[in-house]
Amino acid sequence: MSENEDITFEDALSELEDIVHELEESGLTLEDALLKFETGVKLSRLCNKELDDAEMRIEQLTEDGVRAERVEIE
């Protein structure tokens, strides 16, 4: 995993899936397996955080159609 915290949810999830598969294949050295495991745990935490954190944000296209501005809609 790149140390980049800006990894998208989609990328994080698919990387997590890859790691699960790699670990289950068990062709890794112990050292690699532990590293992968650590990364996997980090990714799952990151994914959950993405899911928990976010609040829906609503914007509306401005009259001239060039920008979107934040609005409150119930």
Partner 1 sequence: MLYTVRELTQYIKHRLQDDPSLSEVSVRGEISNFTHHTSGHMYFTLKDEHSQLNCVMFRGANAKLKFKPVTGMKVVCSGDIAVYDKRGVYQLTVWDIQPDGIGALYQAFEQLKVQLSEQGFFDPARKRPLPMFPKTIGIVTSRTGAVLHDILNVIRRRFPAVRIVLAQTRVQGEGAAAEIAGAIKQLNKLSRTDPIDVLIVARGGGSIEELWQFNELKVAEAVFHSEIPIVSAVGHETDVTICDFVADLRAPTPSAAAEIVVPDREQLRQQIAGHKIRLDHAIRRTVEMRRDRLARAERGVVHPRDRINQLRQYIDELTRQIHTTVTHRLQLRRKDLSMLGATLHALSPLNHLQRGYSIVLRAPDRAVVNTIDAVTAGSDLQILVTNGMIGCRVREIKEGWDHE
Instruction: State the Cα–Cα distance between residues 16 and 22, nearest whole angstrom.
Output: 10
Whose Cβ is closer to partner 1: residue 5's or residue 65's? 65
Q: How far is CA 50 from CA 3, 7, 19, 42, 59, in A?
A: 16, 10, 19, 12, 20
Which of 4, 6, 66, 72: binder of partner 1 (CB under 8 A)? 66
Angle in degrees, 0-180, between the axes of helices 9-25 and 30-53, rounded to the nearest 10: 150
33 binds partner 1 (CB under 8 A): yes
Residue of 1, 6, 7, 54 interacting with partner 1 (CB under 8 A): 54
Residues of this chain that interact with partner 1 (CB under 8 A) are 8-10, 13, 16-17, 19-20, 23-24, 26, 28, 30, 33-34, 37, 40-41, 44, 47-48, 50-51, 53-61, 65-68, 71, 73-74
